[in-house]
Structures are given as C-alpha cells and as structure tokens.
Amino acid sequence: MRIAIVNPNTISSMTDAVVGFAAPSARPETELVGITPTSGALSIESHIDEVHGAASVLTEVLRLEDGPADARPDAYVIACFGDTGLAGAREAATGPVVGMTEAALVTAALIAHRFTIITMPARTIEQSDRVVRTLGLGHRATVRAVDEPVSEVTHGSLHLLDLFVEEGRRAISDDRAEAIILGCAGLADLVEPLSAALGVPVIEGVAAGVSIAEGLLAQGLSTSRHSTWAQPSSRAQPNSGARQSTGARPTGGHS
C-alpha cells in the first residue's frame, strides 16, 4: 500500500524528516511518500498560515487524485498539528485521510486515562483545543505549549528536550497526565528521550496516523460518502480563476 504524508508547509527538509521518523512504524510492504507543497506558508503558526496551509493540502491531494491511477496514494496522513486542511482532503481523496492530531489523541485514549499535548508555539494551543473538542476528549486531555517558533525544529528538536521535559513534568504533576502527545510534526526525535526522562508513553502523531491508515486499509474502510464528506460535484483547484494581488506578501512564521 502507498500512503502519502502531506506536509502543509513548504519546508521539504521537514517533510523528509517526518517521513524518516514515521518509516519504522510502517509495515514492510507500506510505501511512504512525502509531499511538500510548492507554494504556501513556511510553517503553520497562525490562523492565516492555517488557511494557506489548508489550500496547499487540498491542491496536493487533488493533484495526486487526478494523476496516474498507478501512482495514486491508497491513503493520506496530514502532517500538521491541528490537522490543517483535513476536512477538504477527506472530501477530495478516494481513500482514507488521517490527521496526525486525531490519530495521536485516539492512540493516547487507548493507553492512558489522562494525557497532555505539548505543542508549540503557545499561540497555536487553540488549534489543538479544537481537535480535542471535536473528538469529545476535553475531560481527558490538556494542552500545554513550549513557546518556541516552529523554525526552531526545522532541522531537529533535540536542543529543546530540556524545555519539553520541564513542561512534561508539569503535565504529570498538575494535569495528572499518564501520557504525552507531541504537538508538532517536527518533534518526532523527542519520542525516545522524552519518554525515558518522564517515564510515561510519548506519542507522535504522524507515526500514529500511518498505523491507523494501514489499519483502515486492511479492513477495507474509507471515508463515508453518505453526507458530511460526500465528494462535491465540483472539485475546482484552489485559486482557480482567482484574481492575483500584486501586494500579496509571503506567509511564514507549526507544522
């Protein structure tokens, strides 16, 4: 099976790192394909960034869906905490689409009664809160943040380990957390050292998403088309026919 890991931001090195860290969790027969948009936000750290990122996700999913059938992914994983563009991707894709945030939360709920997301930066807490509310896990999940920009994890996150250990200890003490969820796709290299330091499970959403996507495919399950995610009659590409603004500035600045 082929699973596309879609990075809503335009940093290809982050896509490569995310795929590399998720690969050991995949089945031997699973092919993971990293997808990086050619335009959009440098990272997803604001509501504006999230809109640009969602458009980039939809553009890439439509491109793959409309491409050669033998190259079409069997499933997709959205590699951004907050699940940027997930709903639109589910409408557009033939196979199942899994958001890393939903995957991490569902996984945590199976192994711990209470759990805490540690995301970054602090202003993106609302994006995590939104997914927690959607899944009805507010009575079991807490969201915290290390207030560092996503640019800090473009080339790895081990230099932030002490900050995450400190916040994780607060989560265990104050939130009574029994597991920690890493709230950014660029934090995968913290899984083992953070778990060792805290003595609780640490969950990385992309790897969790890959495993869930594999499970859905193995069961022959995909997105229900009955109502909410029914495929629309029109699948126009984002910005098709849109007027270009000469004053537009690049976005940048959580994935």
Number of structural domains (the chain) is 2
Give residue 78's Cα distance to chain centre. Answer: 5
pLDDT at residue number 244: 37
Give per-residue pLDDT as tens, 173-227. Answer: 999 999 999 999 999 999 999 999 999 999 999 999 999 999 999 999 999 999 9
Tell me if 250 is assigned to some domain.
Answer: no
Strands 2-6 and 31-35: parallel
* Token reading at 160: 């932030």
Backbone angles phi, psi at 119, to 5 degrees: -110, -175
* CATH number of residue 113's parent domain: 3.40.50.12500
54 and 118 fall within a common domain: no
pTM of structure: 0.90
Q: Tell me, yes or no, whether 247 lies in a domain.
A: no
- Residue 191 within a domain: yes
Taking each helix axis as running N to C, give the angle between helix 205-218 and helix 100-111, from 0 to 180 degrees, rounded to the nearest 10: 90
Domain with 64 in it: 2-100+208-218
* Buried/exposed code over 163-172 (b: 16+ C-beta within 10 A; e: otherwise): bbbebbeebb
Among candidates 251, 229, 250, 185, which has minimal Cα distance to 92? Answer: 229
The answer to whether the Cα torsion of 227, 83, 141, 126 is positive or negative is negative
What pLDDT, in 10s, does the model give residues 134-144? 999 999 999 99
